[in-house]
Amino acid sequence: MSDKGMNLTLKIWRQKDSKSKGKMETYKLSDISEHMSFLEMLDVLNEQLINEGQEPVAFDHDCREGICGMCSLYINGEAHGPDRGITTCQLHMRMFNDGDTIVIEPWRAAAFPVTKDLIVDRSAMDRIQQAGGFISVNTSGNTQDANAIPINKSDADKSFDAAACIGCGACVATCKNASAMLFVSAKISQFALLPQGQVEAKERVDNMVKQMDLEGFGNCTNTGACEAECPKGISLENIARMNREFIKSAVLKDK
Ligand code: SF4
Ligand code: FES
């Protein structure tokens, strides 16, 4: 371990609000420890900016342990930066070298307008979720114990894997079409694989896909970039499953 920290040049997208035109600004940071997290490095920058009487850089974060999906930075042209299977808050400065220039931008997608600096509005994903990403259960006291319903182990595992999606939006930011299909398919799959999800299956896929289109996300052209950059390893298999669910729903409608 070197006892001297890194000297870095940061190029960061600054934008006052959603109506203003943004631009890249350059900042210098010195003596950054390789053990710091990426967000801690930004905290150091913000302290420096505040001490200089400048406006700190606005960025989203919450849990800082890869759970909530809030952190959302495009770092050197990659969603969540150069490491794999992690969120921005799990990225460490040891992935960078002394003298590096790091370019930091917000998610870029028409459906994710920038609200300030590195923060984008991801409420489009919430509206898709609200359109059908749930099951309606009567919680009056007569609810059947979930463990009393036998579920094939392989289906349970696949459902659990799909449920690992944290709604970060990296799949959208990475896709050249700004498609949200990996996200939406994960939210549909986690229920499509379970008996509890069957009652509302048809309405769920119809309403969520409809909302996805209304929000202005692009189409999937099978480049696989979303799967490669997803911090939770959500598989493209989910998109195939969503398409099957959608076709099944259309066939049932015709009957
Ligand atoms: S599918 Fe992956 S990249 Fe997309 S929102 Fe979910 S966790 Fe994030
Ligand atoms: S801050 Fe919660 S996942 Fe990064």
Question: What are the structural domains of the chain?
Answer: 6-116 (3.10.20.30), 123-254 (1.10.1060.10)
Give me ligand 1 centre to Cα 147, in Å.
28
Check residue 2 and give its pLDDT: 53
Check residue 89 and give its pLDDT: 98
Give me ligand 1 centre to Cα 166, in Å.
6
241, burial (CB in 10 Å: exposed 0-12, middle 13-18, buried 19+): buried
Q: Are 245 and 201 in contact (CB under 8 A)?
A: yes
Query: What sign does the CA torsion over 115, 118, 119, 124 have?
Result: positive
Q: Are 89 and 63 in contact (CB under 8 A)?
A: yes
Distances (CA, A) of 233 to 66, 103, 158, 164, 227: 13, 25, 12, 8, 6
Instruction: Kindly state if the Cβ of 66 falls inside 6 Å of ligand 1.
Output: no
Check residue 144 and give its pLDDT: 78
pLDDT along the chain (255 residues), means of 10: 83 97 98 97 98 98 97 97 97 98 97 98 98 88 82 96 98 97 98 94 96 96 96 97 95 71
Check residue 139 and give its pLDDT: 78
Check residue 77 and give its pLDDT: 97
Query: Which residues touch 107 (CB under 8 Å, ≥6 apart)?
Result: 72, 74, 79, 120, 122, 169, 170, 172, 173
Instruction: Kindly state if the Cβ of 71 falls inside 6 Å of ligand 2.
Output: yes
Instruction: Choose the residue to mutate in 168, 215, 227 for probing ligand 1, maximizing ligand atoms within 8 Å of C-beta.
Output: 168
Check residue 255 and give its pLDDT: 60
Query: Which residues touch 205 (CB under 8 Å, ≥6 apart)?
Result: 132, 188, 192, 242, 245, 246, 249
In this prediction the pTM is 0.94
